[in-house]
Structure 1
Amino acid sequence: MLDVPRLLPARPSLFVDRGDEYRGFNAATRHVFLTGQPGVGKTTAAVEFGYRSAELFPDGQLYYDLGGSTRAPATPAEVLQHFLELLGVAKPPEREQQMGNVFRSATRDRRMLIVLDDADTMAQVRALLPSSESCKVIVTSRKQLMFDTGTFREIVLEPLADDHALALVSTLSEKDGLAAEPGVGTLLTRCGGLPLALELAANRLRRRSVPALVARIDAALEVVDQLLDLSYQELTPDEQRAYRVLGRHFGPEFGAEVAAAMLGVPDAEDLLEALAEANLLRRLGDRYGFHSLIGAHARRSEDEPGAAGRAIDWYLRRAVGLAKVITRRWWAADIFTQVPRLFDGEGAVPRALAEFKLEGTNMLAAVLAAEELSADDVIPAFCEALWAWYYNTDRNDDMITTHRLGAAAALRLGDKKVAMRMHNEIGTRHEKLREFAEARAQFERSLVLAEEIQDVLGQESNLEWLGIVSDGLGDHDTALDFFDRSRVFAEQVPDPDRRERALMLLRMHTGRVQTKTGAVDQALANLRQAETYFETTGDAVNTGRVKENLSRILPPTQARPLLERAVELFTQAHARSLLADGLVSLARLVDPDTALVLRRRAAAIYRELGEFPLAEELG
Structure 2
Amino acid sequence: MQLRVLGPIEITHEDRRLDIPGLRARTVLAILAANRGRAVQVEDLIDTVWDGHPPSTARSQIQICVSQLRRLLGEVGRKDALETRFGGYLLRLAPTELDAGRFELLVAESRHLGGEGQVAEAVARLRAADALWYGATLAGVPGEPVEAWRRGLDERRGAAVEERIRLELTLGRHDELVGELEALIARHPLRERLHAHLMLALYRADRQADALKAYRRARALFVEELGMEPSAELGRLERAILSRAPQLDLPATPAASPVTPPVAATGPASPGAHGPDVPHQLPGDLADFTGRQKLVGEIRDLLTAEADPGHRGFAPLAVITGPGGAGKTSLAVHVAHSLVDRFPDGQLYANLGGPSPSPERPAEVLDRFLRALGVAGPAIPDNLTERIGLYRSRLAGRRVLILLDNAADETQVAPLLPNTDGCAVIVTSRARLGTLAGSHEVDVDALTPEQSVALLHQIVGDRIAAEPVQADELARLCGWLPLALRIAGARLASRPHWRVSRLVDRLRDQSQLLDELVHRDLCIRTTIGLSYHSLPERSRRLLRRLALLDCEDFPLWVTAPLLDEPPSVLEDLLEQLVDVRLLEAHGHPQSGSTRYRLHDLVRVFARERLLAEEPAGERETLVRHVLGAWLAVAEEAHRREYGGDFTIVHGAAARWPVPRTVTDGLLGRPMDWLELERRNLVSAVRQADALGLDELCWDLAFTLVTLFEARSYFDEWAETADIALSATRRSGNRRGEGITLHSLGAMHMFLRDPGQAERMFTAALRILRPLGERHGVALVERNLAYLNRLRGDDRAALRGYEAALAGLGSVGDLVGRAHVLVSIAGIRLEQGDPAAAQALLGEALTICRDAGARRVEAQVLHRLGELYLRSGELRRAEESFQGTLDIVRAASDRTGEAYALHGLGVVYGRDGRLAKARAMLTRARQIAGQVVERVVEAQALYELSQLPDRDRAEAADQLRRAADIFGELQARVWHARALRALADVSG
Using the size of structure 1 for normalisation, the TM-score is 0.60
Cα gap change, 1:380/1:547 in structure 2, threshold over 3 Å: closer, same or farther? same
Matching residue of 1:324: 639
Alpha-carbon distance in structure 2 between the residues aligned to 1:510 and 1:491:
13
Which among 545, 569, 589 is matched to residue 883 of structure 2?
Answer: 569
Q: Does structure 1 retain, via aligned residues, the 8 Å contact 2:632–2:658?
A: no
> What SS does structure 2 have at the residue aligned with 1:577?
helix
C-alpha displacement at 1:339, in angstroms?
Answer: 6.3
C-alpha displacement at 1:344, in angstroms?
Answer: 12
| Mapping 1:200-279, distance limit 5 Å | 202-203=406-407, 219=519, 222-266=522-566, 267-279=569-581
Alpha-carbon distance in structure 1 between the residues aligned to 2:769 and 2:723:
22
- Correspondence 1:541 to 2:858: yes
Alpha-carbon distance in structure 2 between the residues aligned to 1:461 and 1:248:
36
| Mapping 1:92-103, distance limit 5 Å | none
Alpha-carbon distance in structure 2 between the residues aligned to 1:48 and 1:411:
55
Alpha-carbon distance in structure 2 between the residues aligned to 1:205 and 1:565:
63
Matching residue of 1:300: 608
C-alpha displacement at 1:331, in angstroms?
Answer: 2.4
Which among 617, 621, 627 is matched to residue 312 of structure 1?
Answer: 627
- Deviations along 1:170-192, one digit per CA (max 9) or x if unpaired, are 99xxxx987645999xxxxxxxx
C-alpha displacement at 1:471, in angstroms?
Answer: 2.8
C-alpha displacement at 1:530, in angstroms?
Answer: 1.5
C-alpha displacement at 1:264, in angstroms?
Answer: 2.8
> What SS does structure 1 have at the residue aligned with 2:550?
coil
Q: Does structure 1 retain, via aligned residues, the 8 Å contact 2:653–2:695?
A: no
| Mapping 1:454-533, distance limit 5 Å | 454-472=772-790, 475-477=791-793, 479-493=794-808, 495=810, 498=813, 502=816, 505-513=819-827, 516=830, 519-521=831-833, 524-533=834-843
Which among 367, 371, 374 is matched to residue 685 of structure 2?
Answer: 367
Alpha-carbon distance in structure 2 between the residues aligned to 1:347 and 1:236:
30
Opposite residue 536 of structure 1, the aligned amino acid is: T
| Mapping 1:327-342, distance limit 5 Å | 327=642, 328=644, 329=646, 330-334=648-652
Cα gap change, 1:362/1:311 in structure 2, threshold over 3 Å: closer, same or farther? same
Alpha-carbon distance in structure 2 between the residues aligned to 1:423 and 1:47:
55
Cα gap change, 1:590/1:403 in structure 2, threshold over 3 Å: closer, same or farther? same
- Correspondence 1:166 to 2:370: no
- Deviations along 1:14-70, one digit per CA (max 9) or x if unpaired, are xxxxxxxxxxxxxxxxxxxxxxxxxx999x969989x9xxxxxxxxxxxxxxxxxxx
- Correspondence 1:393 to 2:714: no
C-alpha displacement at 1:294, in angstroms?
Answer: 1.6
- Deviations along 1:274-300, one digit per CA (max 9) or x if unpaired, are 211212111223222111122222212
Matching residue of 1:582: 903
Matching residue of 2:105: none
Alpha-carbon distance in structure 1 between the residues aligned to 2:722 and 2:924:
33
Alpha-carbon distance in structure 2 between the residues aligned to 1:293 and 1:338:
29
- Correspondence 1:351 to 2:686: no
Alpha-carbon distance in structure 1 between the residues aligned to 2:901 and 2:559:
45
C-alpha displacement at 1:167, in angstroms?
Answer: 4.6
- Deviations along 1:87-143, one digit per CA (max 9) or x if unpaired, are xxxxxxxxxxxxxxxxxxxxxxxxxxxxxxxxxxxxxxxxxxxxxxxxxxxxxxxxx
Q: Does structure 2 retain, via aligned residues, the 8 Å contact 1:322–1:341?
A: no
Cα gap change, 1:259/1:507 in structure 2, threshold over 3 Å: closer, same or farther? closer
Matching residue of 2:489: none
Which among 711, 722, 725 is matched to residue 404 of structure 1?
Answer: 722
- Correspondence 1:384 to 2:705: no
Alpha-carbon distance in structure 2 between the residues aligned to 1:220 and 1:200:
26
Indicate the larger mover: 390-399 or 600-609. 600-609
> What SS does structure 2 have at the residue aligned with 1:429?
helix
Q: Does structure 2 retain, via aligned residues, the 8 Å contact 1:464–1:483?
A: no
Cα gap change, 1:465/1:489 in structure 2, threshold over 3 Å: closer, same or farther? closer
Highest RCO, 1 vs 2 (Cα 8 Å, sep ≥ 6): 1
- Correspondence 1:603 to 2:918: no
Q: Does structure 1 retain, via aligned residues, the 8 Å contact 2:738–2:768?
A: yes
Matching residue of 2:867: 550
Q: Does structure 1 retain, via aligned residues, the 8 Å contact 2:351–2:406?
A: no
Cα gap change, 1:362/1:493 in structure 2, threshold over 3 Å: closer, same or farther? closer
State the superposition RMSD in angstroms. 4.4
Compare CA radii of gyration and give the structure with the larger one: 2
Q: Does structure 2 retain, via aligned residues, the 8 Å contact 1:581–1:602?
A: yes
Identity %: 16
Structure 2: gaps (5+ residues): 1-287, 299-325, 339-344, 354-402, 417-426, 428-516, 588-593, 850-855, 889-895, 931-936, 951-987
Q: Does structure 2 retain, via aligned residues, the 8 Å contact 1:463–1:483?
A: no
Opposite residue 858 of structure 2, the aligned amino acid is: V
> What SS does structure 2 have at the residue aligned with 1:368?
helix
> What SS does structure 1 have at the residue aligned with 2:596?
strand
C-alpha displacement at 1:546, in angstroms?
Answer: 2.5
C-alpha displacement at 1:481, in angstroms?
Answer: 1.0
C-alpha displacement at 1:588, in angstroms?
Answer: 3.8
> What SS does structure 1 have at the residue aligned with 2:562?
helix
Q: Does structure 1 retain, via aligned residues, the 8 Å contact 2:741–2:761?
A: yes
- Deviations along 1:422-474, one digit per CA (max 9) or x if unpaired, are 222222222122122222222111121222223332222212211212333xx
Using the size of structure 2 for normalisation, the TM-score is 0.39
Number of residue equivalences: 435
Alpha-carbon distance in structure 1 between the residues aligned to 2:730 and 2:713:
26
Q: Does structure 2 retain, via aligned residues, the 8 Å contact 1:319–1:356?
A: yes
> What SS does structure 2 have at the residue aligned with 1:377?
helix
> What SS does structure 2 have at the residue aligned with 1:378?
helix
Q: Does structure 2 retain, via aligned residues, the 8 Å contact 1:325–1:348?
A: no
